[in-house]
Structure 1
Amino acid sequence: MSSAARELRFASVADVIARLDPSYPVFCVFPDVLRKRARDFVEGFPGTVLYAVKCNPHPFVLKALWEGGIRHFDTASISEIAKVNEQLPDAHCYFNHPVKGRGALEAAADVYGLKDYVVDTLSELDKVIGIAGTDITIEVRIATPKGKAVYDLSSKFGATPDEAVALLREASRRGCRTAIAFHVGSQCLDPDAYRVAMEMSADVAARAGVKLEYLDIGGGFPAIHGVDVASLQGYFDVIATTNERLGLGIPLFAEPGRALVAEGCSVLTQVHLGKGDSLYINDGIYGCLSEIRDGDFDPPVRAISKAGPVAGPLRPFRIFGPTCDSLDVLKQKFNLPESIGEGDWIEFGLMGAYSIGMQTGFNGFVTDTIVRIDGPQDGFNS
């Protein structure tokens, strides 16, 4: 049933339930939503947009973003590079992981012809040049303050300003093109973080004194996860204003992931048991719902039966996933109709980011039915 379902198209989530009656979880992709979000970025961001493939690498998602105008892709592994090239042979991939295996570098350079590589240490610069040569662009990634981001991505990667200056000079001395990159942190709730990081980049550029090809401001653009955040245009305005004031005179790149795809997917789960104020469903933290635990993410939910939306007064339920591990529980309670029971479905909205690509298959439970739904995301973003 699962493999056949992948090839089907549906008009709505209700159509999925009517035609499949799924006792297994279903990952729903809404291409119309993804295409619109891609156009919002391509038309609104003052530069080139790279999609961060790690966020959701499913072919339905990649295709919809391409149809929405995305032509550049932030890739972190040879698997991601291969997946993008196989489906979108005209795409431009960037190897933006600061630590790369030699085998992956060889394939990226020799098989796929990549020309853009991120480094944050001299040893990585040596490795990249030794394998890919010098007809490449070296992006030196600098560490930036975490600010109001949910995930701090500079705790693992990023050179200090002094180290970045030295790396840029060394890459240029060896004959490489150079650029600067940073990442303010995932789900960044403060547009001003980009101003701070861009000012740091301008200072590094001035001190390095080398010609830069571009400034890659990374990702971090937030999705609406039950918090009050500035509009996407508000972020673009801060970035454009800062760029004009600094007068760098080079192209801007960005690597959105979550903000591009979160709204474009949902996860349809089924209740397999109701026990007091607890519901046991067929997906959980080892599947597509891990970010609900890891990111303080409170997604919208709705209860559905074969007859339509489940009606009645709401009350809070604790939700357990399908594995035998007692840790497989969503940490917050969800308000659902008190009449919900076995055989009903719960749809989790805003699940396009860090979901299907992060599931583990632990205990034999895996969400492998992925369907595309042509039309609006009924119930959440219609």
Structure 2
Amino acid sequence: MTTPSRQLRFSSVADVIQRLNPSYPVFCVFPDILRARARAFVEGFPGTVLYATKCNPHPYVLKALAEGGIEHFDTASISEIAKVTELMPEAHCYFNHPVKGRGALEAAADVYGLTDYVVDHLDELDKVISVAGTDITIEVRIATPKGKAVYDLSAKFGAPPDEAVTLLKEARKRGCRTALAFHVGSQCLDPDAFRVAMSLAKRVSDEANVPLEYLDVGGGFPAIYKMNVPPLRDYFDVIEKAKADLGIGVPLLAEPGRALVADGCSVLTQVHLRKGDDLYINDGIYGCLSEIRDGDLDPPVRAVSRSGEAVSGESRPFRIFGPTCDSLDVLKLPFHLPEDIGEGDWIEFGLMGAYSIGMQTGFNGFVTDTIVRIDGMHEEFVF
């Protein structure tokens, strides 16, 4: 039995296997990779970078991103605000959930002193002002067209353009500072979606005719996985060009999550039983692997034997089941692994930094509570 709070540091995944010989799943964090991703975003994006805390709120991840230059955080709850503030007291948190409870608003305003709040409805504007006052920035979130994104986030949040204009005018009328925001959808595969959304934001801004503090272009920057993903530089270039072409004269903000952390973590699991072409492992959809099923993602995998060497044999497709007694606990996509893989061998899932450790449920008593730090850039397995 391991202690989650204990700081465990290793030199490689092989070192984890040799020292722990784990029959339990292990979440591996690579701070050097995370710091490098943070620096690339801070230096490349033409504006201020906010990390989307929900993507992976583990302290190892938050600290590494801060060390890479991230000073601003997109937070959606008091728990996230508290965690970020405790680790980085000088960090600037933005309350970017469009629907907030009054208790959460009171704590955000009175305890943590937050000054930036997202709304997408007049009733929410009334609520925020009644609790936080008017010496704040109201960030009006607009709905954007569904593009080539794995998840359409405008289906739940975002005001239609006409309502966004009304919200901006009303917020300004009541004495608040104003800003605009949008989100093109998670794992967006088309950089031009940002240009389309920025054009819509410009039209809303022009019609409202109120001064803006900034334009928040949201997240959606993709991770590679096994998809045809344009280079991150293409997204930055499209955004920078759209800002110039549209005459947007206010600072830009962005809320990357996945693109910052996906390849900075992996999940090390163990095969507990093989039934023909079915493998039963100790993590699954109720644990750190839920997004593999929900997003039809195909992360890279590799098999490691009990001796720490690569498992031999030709590659073949396997169906993978998680550890719970729920028959839904199965990964939809087949995973190609060596034909000699068997009980006691390990499977490492790469690109697991996003929407993994923060989404596990603990259902059936299975939980990934061993989190280790691994120094270096994961030279032994380049995802």
Q: TM-score range by the shorter chain?
A: over 0.9
One-letter code of the match for 1:250? V
One-letter code of the match for 1:58? H
One-letter code of the match for 1:277? D
Distance 1:336 1:205 in 2: 52
Q: How does 1:161-240 map to 2 (within 5 A)?
A: 161-240=161-240
One-letter code of the match for 2:245? R
Q: Deviations over 1:129-163 (max 9, x none)?
A: 00000000000000001100000000000001100
Matched residue, 1:351: 352
One-letter code of the match for 1:127? K
Shift of 1:9: 0.6
Shift of 1:2: 1.6
Q: How does 1:337-348 map to 2 (within 5 A)?
A: 337-348=338-349
Q: Deviations over 1:19-62 (max 9, x none)?
A: 00000000000000000000000000000000000000000000
C-alpha contact (below 8 Å) 1:5/1:371 kept by paired residues:
no
Matched residue, 1:8: 8
One-letter code of the match for 1:94? Y
Matched residue, 1:54: 54
1:150 and 2:150 matched: yes
One-letter code of the match for 2:239? I
Matched residue, 2:268: 268
One-letter code of the match for 1:40? A
C-alpha contact (below 8 Å) 1:6/1:371 kept by paired residues:
no
Shift of 1:247: 1.2
Distance 1:156 1:247 in 2: 29
Matched residue, 2:376: 375
SS at match of 1:356: coil
Distance 1:206 1:225 in 2: 39
One-letter code of the match for 2:290? S
SS at match of 2:28: strand
C-alpha contact (below 8 Å) 1:184/1:194 kept by paired residues:
yes
Matched residue, 2:317: 316
Matched residue, 1:362: 363
One-letter code of the match for 1:376? M
Matched residue, 2:330: 329
Shift of 1:7: 1.3
Shift of 1:6: 3.9
Distance 1:379 1:126 in 2: 54
SS at match of 1:330: coil
Query: 4+ residue stretches of structure 1 with deviation over 3 A?
Result: none
Q: What percentage of residue pairs aligned between the two structures are identical?
A: 79
Distance 2:95 2:81 in 1: 8
Q: How does 1:247-286 map to 2 (within 5 A)?
A: 247-286=247-286
Matched residue, 1:139: 139
Distance 1:24 1:5 in 2: 16
SS at match of 1:298: coil
Shift of 1:225: 1.6
C-alpha contact (below 8 Å) 2:8/2:371 kept by paired residues:
no
C-alpha contact (below 8 Å) 1:13/1:378 kept by paired residues:
no
Shift of 1:378: 3.5
SS at match of 1:43: helix
SS at match of 2:274: strand
C-alpha RMSD of matched pairs (Å): 0.9
Distance 1:316 1:77 in 2: 41
Distance 1:202 1:27 in 2: 42
One-letter code of the match for 2:135? D
Q: 1:104 to 1:280 in 2, by over 3 A?
A: same
C-alpha contact (below 8 Å) 2:4/2:369 kept by paired residues:
no
Distance 2:84 2:166 in 1: 33
Distance 2:314 2:293 in 1: 26
Q: 1:377 to 1:5 in 2, by over 3 A?
A: farther
One-letter code of the match for 2:275? K
Structure 2 unpaired stretches of 5+? none
Distance 1:72 1:309 in 2: 41
TM-score by length of 1: 0.99
One-letter code of the match for 1:193? A
C-alpha contact (below 8 Å) 1:158/1:182 kept by paired residues:
yes
Q: Deviations over 1:208-256 (max 9, x none)?
A: 0000000000000000021011100000000000001111110000000
Shift of 1:125: 0.2
Q: How does 1:18-33 map to 2 (within 5 A)?
A: 18-33=18-33
